[in-house]
Amino acid sequence: MKMYLPILFVVSLLFSYSHGSVLDFCVADYSLPDGPAGYSCKKPANVTVNDFVYSGLGIAGNTTGLIKAAVTSAFVDQFPGLNGLGLSMARLDLAVGGVVPIHTHRGGSEIIFVVEGTICAGFISSSPNTAYFKTLYKGDVMIFPQGLLHFQFNTGNIPALAIVSLNSPNPGVDFTDIALFGNNLPSAIVEKVTFLDDAQVKKLKAVFGGTG
Amino acid sequence: MKMYLPILFVVSLLFSYSHGSVLDFCVADYSLPDGPAGYSCKKPANVTVNDFVYSGLGIAGNTTGLIKAAVTSAFVDQFPGLNGLGLSMARLDLAVGGVVPIHTHRGGSEIIFVVEGTICAGFISSSPNTAYFKTLYKGDVMIFPQGLLHFQFNTGNIPALAIVSLNSPNPGVDFTDIALFGNNLPSAIVEKVTFLDDAQVKKLKAVFGGTG
Amino acid sequence: MKMYLPILFVVSLLFSYSHGSVLDFCVADYSLPDGPAGYSCKKPANVTVNDFVYSGLGIAGNTTGLIKAAVTSAFVDQFPGLNGLGLSMARLDLAVGGVVPIHTHRGGSEIIFVVEGTICAGFISSSPNTAYFKTLYKGDVMIFPQGLLHFQFNTGNIPALAIVSLNSPNPGVDFTDIALFGNNLPSAIVEKVTFLDDAQVKKLKAVFGGTG
Amino acid sequence: MKMYLPILFVVSLLFSYSHGSVLDFCVADYSLPDGPAGYSCKKPANVTVNDFVYSGLGIAGNTTGLIKAAVTSAFVDQFPGLNGLGLSMARLDLAVGGVVPIHTHRGGSEIIFVVEGTICAGFISSSPNTAYFKTLYKGDVMIFPQGLLHFQFNTGNIPALAIVSLNSPNPGVDFTDIALFGNNLPSAIVEKVTFLDDAQVKKLKAVFGGTG
Amino acid sequence: MKMYLPILFVVSLLFSYSHGSVLDFCVADYSLPDGPAGYSCKKPANVTVNDFVYSGLGIAGNTTGLIKAAVTSAFVDQFPGLNGLGLSMARLDLAVGGVVPIHTHRGGSEIIFVVEGTICAGFISSSPNTAYFKTLYKGDVMIFPQGLLHFQFNTGNIPALAIVSLNSPNPGVDFTDIALFGNNLPSAIVEKVTFLDDAQVKKLKAVFGGTG
Amino acid sequence: MKMYLPILFVVSLLFSYSHGSVLDFCVADYSLPDGPAGYSCKKPANVTVNDFVYSGLGIAGNTTGLIKAAVTSAFVDQFPGLNGLGLSMARLDLAVGGVVPIHTHRGGSEIIFVVEGTICAGFISSSPNTAYFKTLYKGDVMIFPQGLLHFQFNTGNIPALAIVSLNSPNPGVDFTDIALFGNNLPSAIVEKVTFLDDAQVKKLKAVFGGTG
């Protein structure tokens, strides 16, 4: 007994530096300003294990639309414990015939694990100018290098489920169709910078809700 | 037709810079020197889609040992396409009663997705001095912040499967037991720096194969 | 005189650490392996001021094609002194009516300075889902945030010249048209992942040289 | 028509994660605290294209002083859209005989493009201990590696204009003369740490406004 | 004289960009929110040289406890000038027989310089699975690579003093004993994830103050 | 006994990923090419604890020259274990009256610990335009922010010893005097870019060995 008390005394000395407010993590406090490195940190007294656990990927996304697919994300806006830690996740649900349209992420590379089903996945490189694509089966993993256009679609006859991870807590998702046809970019500019025909642009603007 | 050729001409001008040897990725060439940022890059002519796909996580690890668990990794040493891209993956198979012993990764944070079963997972922070742990169910995600000790064990009555992703292509795995009891560190030093009893150290050295 | 010699003596002591081979820079040696951080370094004895100067941006690109524009780059493949230094440049020549089609860079943000003429430039963000575009006049500067689709076209009645800088020595250029219509990605996949009509895809594949 | 509504429905599912407040960029809000990574981000509703465009480099600096040169910068303090994006720009106006005195930047490398005129530019390396300098002509580009002393002066008989880019939104500019002779560093200390003569130091302190 | 005034005029032009609020450093303001990159910056008017100087390492730590050692840190929580600068320091006082127990730092590598005495120091790598340890004498330096378990103990017959530096302003210190035996992690979990015996765990929990 | 063998079996499964060649560190192999991130890594079989220990800082530098000071460095060129780890060290010996002349480091911040004696140390910031300097006593620590000019000189009446650490394995040292007066930069250019008098420049060129 006598032995323990002195050790405890020194232990508290060893930890004199841990009485400050800087933590081993920085859980997002959405009510404070955010900066280039992410959100401000929640006060330690308010952090619990629930900040580090997220259950939103446990539920399949709705795949009843025409693309028959859904992306459900666990990015820092949904999952505050990711803040500052350089990782995020998402689940891809692809019904039979489902497709995740071609897109990029402004931040980070992506790795995919096929939980169930059969998925054709690929990315396009400009150097060399090549599309790398392959059919992935249950248990396969594929890496999509940073910043390159990539896509996934179900090539099997059962629904497919995949888990993806990206090395940014806030990687963004830039679907090319939404970028071109789903915002305020005028059709004339879309056509000029893509060489797409006017009829094609207007047809897809109607689909994706673009104005202008 | 006349229209196409002039465009092609300009396109090739636009891409004059893509004729060099620097690619959009750097697939590991294990035969060349590695450096602090990873392996040297494979020559473009030798890169195929198979460098970006890995099937080794499709097979369950052997969980018949006493810890009843197995970690199967897709790190850069197994999966050359990860080189330089800041991501890796691993699968955790935990039989009923299985446990992934406490460990750290020298590089990167870790995110886990429970594919099947029920897993108690947690990490320990020194600031504040707290263990954050919780039972995770199918579909739950948990983040283990960079550099902190963490663990997982099956708390259910069926085998569990989880997929983890780390934001380093080569994160390392430092099991505390192996570090303390599974190498050339003499028992006298282990005891001095851990306060463990001599009998305990020797017992675990026998288990983990430590010498000295 | 007497005063100088002792100082010189100490100076050489002060510089004892500069006799090693690690330099203040790492000029690319294209003949050695490259890695995730760039090319290997040229031996010091072979480095001259010419490794840090590049004259290739002094010549206007050929804008006689249908897009009436040309991009001439000073990336690490052309300009070895950039290796490891996190910067590159390019010149944009846009004849009257010229357009630099929509594209991304896998690495880095881009800043543009209009040297001559009038250019409409813009980028598209997914968060918020908005196109930010504006007419730039001589002397204007615009920033295109990392990873987002962007474009430039001449809106004036004289040729335009702009200089762009990117914060990567090897930022890549991924023109969406080339990615979709200029490589081995089969038309069926292009259509599936873009929602473009078959006729449109085939028309542009003919323009951009795509196969499959 | 019937076809489009279902797609729109799924598109909104695809973008459920974009309704949060984390943007694709972080325009500086000068009224909020700044941190090591830059300024806090402006609220999305207040961001416009004008945050990404800066016109201050369109006007030549005043070169009527004795150094006959002026540096006009587009750093994050002038141009809020640069915040967090790792890039900035400046224009150098050098009248005949004009000189940008020797200086360093605490953050980032610098690349220069000569728009007009003839400029001798150079930098000094300690390893190897060498000055790399050369006369640059219209269209030439030179790289100044991170942290090294560099300078530019007009060697032609017409005014020169150059555009420089640095891979930091806030690179700083540390003119050696201002550092040594333009602040509160006492003459005795300047002399001790530079080996300059007292008369020289006092003469330049008078020029550059140093006290002490 | 006439010569000086014009220069001063131009100098002020040269420094027009330095009138903003972004400084060359970011001294921590503990009263403002912190984020993933550190604390918010103190207002320039409140920064003094004392923010960059810390005297807390001048006093030997108390080594009268059973471990006969003390770690006194100059991390960002004690020393605000370190904020954002990627460095910190600590002093290790080891009485005769003193030991700094095995630990990791979640951020950064560590370098040690022995000021006085004789210290056995080492670290454990998993790849290869090896302990690297050696007796260090006055003046010796050792590097502990990022994220690996390491320790130091006095092997001499006089007190030892060492200075360590870490490349993070807030590296954290995770003593394995405190992590396992000094917090709320239940004994049953500790035993499950470490293979330590129940008696051993309970004995050390009593020493290190663990609950549960 | 029966119990141990199965555990060992699973342990080897757990470590199946550690059989590759990627290590937990990257000790410099000076005989292989270096790149922007540092030297290539030594083969694991050739790494010993001696790669991580350096004894060169145990010997006082020669302070008999006129500046009465010496800098002895443990940078990656002397100490291969630092490669890729973001840290280095140096010792400063300052005899009575000794001075480490004003200098910058192209990479990293610097932290100093005064082991013995009294040292006046300072750095100069351009934003705000201020010199921050102070007399440091035994045990004091000071931080010199990245890229700024700084200096140290002995203000006491006994020799002083300090240990500095920098957060780069290869930070470089750029003494302003050597840069201006100790290489091939012609006097005419030195004078033009510094405003120093011709006599002053020639006097110091003679001291520091400059040519041209």
Of E13, E39, E85, the CB nearest to D61: E13
Residue F55, judged by CB atoms within 10 A of its CB (0-12, 13-18, 19+), counts as middle
Best of F68, F88, F126, F175 to mutate (most D CBs within 10 Å, chain D): F126
E12–chain B Cβ distance below 8 A for any pair: no
- In sequence order, the 6+-apart residues with CB closer than 8 A to the CB of A210 are A180, A181, A182, A183, A184, A185, A187, A190, A204
Judge whether residue D50 has pLDDT over 60: yes
Contact call for E18 and F127, based on CB within 8 A: yes
- Choose the weakest-confidence range: B53-57, B158-162, C17-21, D104-108: C17-21
Q: Which residues of F touch C16 (CB under 8 A)?
A: 72-73
List, in sequence order, every residue forming a beta bridge with C114; answer none if it has no partner: C162
Looking at chain E, which residues constitute the CATH 2.60.120.10 domain(s)? Answer: 63-172
Judge whether residue F165 has pLDDT over 90: yes
B186–chain F Cβ distance below 8 A for any pair: no
Judge whether residue C97 has pLDDT over 80: yes
Give me the mean pLDDT over the C17-35 stretch.
77
Sign of CA dihedral D79, D82, D84, D87: negative
**Band of residue F19 on the pLDDT scale cut at 50, 70, 90:** very low
Q: What was the pLDDT predicted at E3?
A: 33
Q: Element (H or E) spanning E198, and its range?
A: helix E198-208
List, in sequence order, every residue forming a beta bridge with F180; answer none if it has no partner: none
**Residue among B148, B102, B150, B106 at smallest CA distance from E147:** B106
Q: B195: phi > 0 → left, psi -120 to 50 → alpha, else beta; which?
A: left
Q: What was the pLDDT predicted at A45?
A: 87
Measured between CA atoms, the residue of chain A closest to residue D34 is A35
Neighbours of B60 (CB within 10 A): 14
**Residue among C166, C126, C127 at smallest CA distance from C143:** C166
**% of chain E exceeding 90 in pLDDT:** 84
C30–chain B Cβ distance below 8 A for any pair: yes
Sign of CA dihedral A124, A128, A134, A138: negative
F82–chain E Cβ distance below 8 A for any pair: yes
**Band of residue B22 on the pLDDT scale cut at 50, 70, 90:** low
Distance between CA atoms of C115 and C137, rounded to whole angstroms? 9
CA-angle at C56, arms to C51 and C61, nearest 5°: 165
Q: What was the pLDDT predicted at C23?
A: 75
Q: Which residues of C touch F79 (CB under 8 A)?
A: none
Judge whether residue C202 has pLDDT over 80: yes
Distance between CA atoms of F44 and F49, rounded to whole angstroms? 12
- Domain D23-172: CATH superfamily is Jelly Rolls (2.60.120.10)
C75–chain B Cβ distance below 8 A for any pair: yes
Judge whether residue E10 has pLDDT over 80: no
- Domain A24-172: CATH superfamily is Jelly Rolls (2.60.120.10)
Alpha helices in chain C (DSSP H): 4-14, 176-181, 187-194, 198-208
B142–chain A Cβ distance below 8 A for any pair: yes
Distance between CA atoms of C45 and B76, rounded to whole angstroms? 35
Of E153, E174, E196, the CB nearest to B200: E196
Q: What was the pLDDT predicted at C22?
A: 60
With a cut of 70, list the residues of chain A below it in pLDDT.
Answer: 1-22
Sign of CA dihedral A125, A126, A127, A131: positive
Of D34, D64, D206, the CB nearest to E41: D34
Q: Where are the beta strands (DSSP E) in A10-159?
A: 34-35, 38-39, 53-54, 69-74, 88-94, 99-104, 110-116, 119-126, 129-136, 141-144, 150-154
Distance between CA atoms of A67 and E86, rounded to whole angstroms? 47
One-letter amino acid for residue F91 of the chain: R
Sign of CA dihedral B160, B161, B162, B168: positive
Q: What is the 3-state secondary structure (H, E, C) of E129-176?
A: EEEEEEEECCCCEEEECCCCEEEEEECCCCCEEEEEEECCCCCCCEEH
Looking at chain B, which residues constitute the CATH 2.60.120.10 domain(s)? Answer: 56-172
What is the count of residue pairs from B and C with beta carbons less than 8 Å apart? 98
**% of chain C exceeding 90 in pLDDT:** 84
3-state helix, strand, coil in chain B (%, to 5): 25, 35, 40
Distance between CA atoms of D178 and E12, rounded to whole angstroms? 10
Contact call for B123 and A52, based on CB within 8 A: yes
Assign domain B56-172 to its CATH architecture. Sandwich (2.60)
Sign of CA dihedral E7, E12, E16, E17: positive
Give me the mean pLDDT over the B100-125 stretch.
97
Neighbours of E125 (CB within 10 A): 23
Give me the mean pLDDT over the F163-191 stretch.
96
- Choose the weakest-confidence range: B16-25, B29-38, B53-62, F108-117: B16-25
Q: Is C19 annotated as a binding residue?
A: no
Measured between CA atoms, the residue of chain D closest to residue C14 is D126
Judge whether residue D81 has pLDDT over 70: yes
Contact call for E151 and B189, based on CB within 8 A: yes
Contact assessment for residue A77 and residue A29, using Cβ atoms and an 8 Å cutoff:
no
**Residue among E93, E106, E102 at smallest CA distance from E170:** E106
F22–chain C Cβ distance below 8 A for any pair: no
Q: What's the CATH code, domain E63-172? A: 2.60.120.10
Residue-wise pLDDT for E151-160, tens only, equals 999 999 999 9
Q: Distance between alpha carbon A32 and the CA centroid of its chain, in Å?
A: 23
Give me the mean pLDDT over the E91-115 stretch.
97
Q: Distance between alpha carbon A206 and the CA centroid of its chain, in Å?
A: 27
Distance between CA atoms of D1 and B200, rounded to whole angstroms? 74
Q: Distance between alpha carbon E207 and the CA centroid of its chain, in Å?
A: 24
Measured between CA atoms, the residue of chain E closest to residue F116 is E115
Looking at chain F, which residues constitute the CATH 2.60.120.10 domain(s)? Answer: 24-172
How much is the mean pLDDT over chain B? 90
Contact assessment for residue B154 and residue B72, using Cβ atoms and an 8 Å cutoff:
no
**Band of residue D22 on the pLDDT scale cut at 50, 70, 90:** low
**Residue among A68, A167, C99, D178 at smallest CA distance from E13:** D178
Contact assessment for residue C147 and residue A174, using Cβ atoms and an 8 Å cutoff:
yes
Alpha helices in chain A (DSSP H): 4-14, 176-181, 187-194, 198-208
> Chain C: nearest CA to F9, how far in angstroms?
36
**Residue among B35, B164, B24 at smallest CA distance from B108:** B164
Looking at chain D, which residues constitute the CATH 2.60.120.10 domain(s)? Answer: 23-172
Contact call for E7 and D182, based on CB within 8 A: no
E3–chain D Cβ distance below 8 A for any pair: yes
Please, what is the angle between helix A187-194 and helix A198-208, to 10°? 120
Contact assessment for residue E209 and residue E182, using Cβ atoms and an 8 Å cutoff:
yes
One-letter amino acid for residue B37 of the chain: A
B6–chain A Cβ distance below 8 A for any pair: no
Judge whether residue D20 has pLDDT over 80: no
Judge whether residue F4 has pLDDT over 50: no
Compute CA distances C137 → B70, C112, D116, D147, whole Å. Answer: 62, 11, 18, 33
Distance between CA atoms of D197 and B208, rounded to whole angstroms? 69
Name residues 87-126 of chain C within 8 A of D (Cβ).
87-89, 108-111, 113, 115, 122-123, 125-126
**Band of residue D7 on the pLDDT scale cut at 50, 70, 90:** very low
Query: What is the phi/psi pair of residue E138, to 5°?
Result: -45, 125
CA-angle at D81, arms to D78 and D85, nearest 5°: 110
Q: Distance between alpha carbon C95 and the CA centroid of its chain, in Å?
A: 20
Contact call for F167 and E132, based on CB within 8 A: no
Give me the mean pLDDT over the C36-62 stretch.
96
Neighbours of chain E (3+ CB pairs under 8 A): A, B, D, F
Contact assessment for residue D84 and residue D159, using Cβ atoms and an 8 Å cutoff:
no
F161–chain E Cβ distance below 8 A for any pair: no
Q: What was the pLDDT predicted at A22?
A: 59
Distance between CA atoms of E187 and C23, rounded to whole angstroms? 54
- Residue E206 tokens read as 């009593």
Contact assessment for residue D80 and residue F121, using Cβ atoms and an 8 Å cutoff:
no
Q: Is C103 annotated as a binding residue?
A: yes
- In sequence order, the 6+-apart residues with CB closer than 8 A to the CB of B86 are A86, A108, A109, A146, A167, B167, B168, B169
How much is the mean pLDDT over chain F? 90
C127–chain D Cβ distance below 8 A for any pair: yes
Measured between CA atoms, the residue of chain C closest to residue B81 is C36
Contact assessment for residue E89 and residue E57, using Cβ atoms and an 8 Å cutoff:
yes
Query: What is the phi/psi pair of residue A150, to 5°?
Result: -150, 170
3-state SS assignment for residue A34: strand
Query: What is the phi/psi pair of residue F10, to 5°?
Result: -70, -35
Contact call for B7 and C208, based on CB within 8 A: yes
F56–chain D Cβ distance below 8 A for any pair: no
Judge whether residue E99 has pLDDT over 80: yes
Contact call for A113 and B89, based on CB within 8 A: yes
Q: Is B116 annotated as a binding residue?
A: no
Q: Is E103 annotated as a binding residue?
A: yes
Best of A73, A91, A152, A167 to mutate (most B CBs within 10 Å, chain B): A167
Q: D38: phi > 0 → left, psi -120 to 50 → alpha, else beta; which?
A: left
Sign of CA dihedral D136, D141, D144, D150: positive
Judge whether residue C20 has pLDDT over 60: no
What is the count of residue pairs from D and E with beta carbons less than 8 Å apart? 99
**Residue among A15, B25, F4 at smallest CA distance from E177:** A15
- Choose the weakest-confidence range: A161-165, E117-121, E124-128: E124-128
C129–chain A Cβ distance below 8 A for any pair: yes
**Residue among E148, B62, E125 at smallest CA distance from F7:** B62
Q: What was the pLDDT predicted at F12?
A: 43
List, in sequence order, every residue forming a beta bridge with B164; answer none if it has no partner: B90, B112
How much is the mean pLDDT over chain C? 90
Mark whether C and E touch (3+ CB pairs within 8 Å): no
3-state helix, strand, coil in chain E (%, to 5): 25, 35, 40
Residue E31, judged by CB atoms within 10 A of its CB (0-12, 13-18, 19+), counts as exposed
Please, what is the angle between helix D198-208 and helix E4-14, to 10°? 60
